Amino acid sequence: MIDFEAFCKEIGENANREGLKDTPTRIKKLYEHLFNGYQKDPKIALGSTFNQENFDEMIVLKNIEFYSMCEHHMLPFFGHIHIGYIPNKLLAGIGGLARVVDIFSKRLQIQERLTSELANILMEILQPKGVMVICEATHLCMRMQGIEKQHATIHTSALRGIFKSDSKTRAEFISLLKN
């Protein structure tokens, strides 16, 4: 990990003062939590899938909150992810979908990759007719440094299968997010 004492010295702080004595231990525990997505397998986290041969309507899970760390600045970005898919034969449990979001968000990330990884893993595991993932996020690197824009949000999307080829399917997904 980092040399906390050298870091404090570099910024002009005393690493041995009372309020900082246990900070290295707290940082270690925090990082173990923030980056525990590396230790988990999304295929296992998705959990049980259900074989429902006749269900082929859109399923949408929206407003899944997430927190991640920007790999460029090591500052948080956070927001909501919306997932829609049209099953072919397999259904996922909604808790499993949320766990998969947690796994990929608890890694050093960029929002674009996070969105794409979620769509890709769902296509791989569920083999649906299509998947669409939308991610809306606020980045503290935009708020705290650089251009310091307090209200900017970034929206990314990943479309696979029928969501990519059929504009009506995309429009249905978008309309369901508005309700």
pLDDT digits (tens, 9 = 90+) for 39-71: 999 999 998 788 866 788 999 999 999 999 999
User: Can you give the pTM of this predicted structure?
Assistant: 0.93
Give Cα 28 distance to the centre of its chain. 22
Residue 2's pLDDT is 80
151 given a catalytic annotation: no
88-143 pLDDT, tens digit per residue, is 989 999 999 999 999 999 999 999 999 999 999 999 999 999 999 999 999 999 99
Please indicate whether residue 33 is annotated as part of the active site. Answer: no
**Is residue 70 annotated as a catalytic residue, yes or no?**
yes
Class of the CATH domain delimited by 44-178: alpha beta
For CATH 3.30.1130.10, the residue range(s) in the chain are 44-178
Q: Is 71 a catalytic residue?
A: yes
- Measuring CA to CA, how many Å separate 133 from each of 8, 17, 178? 41, 47, 15
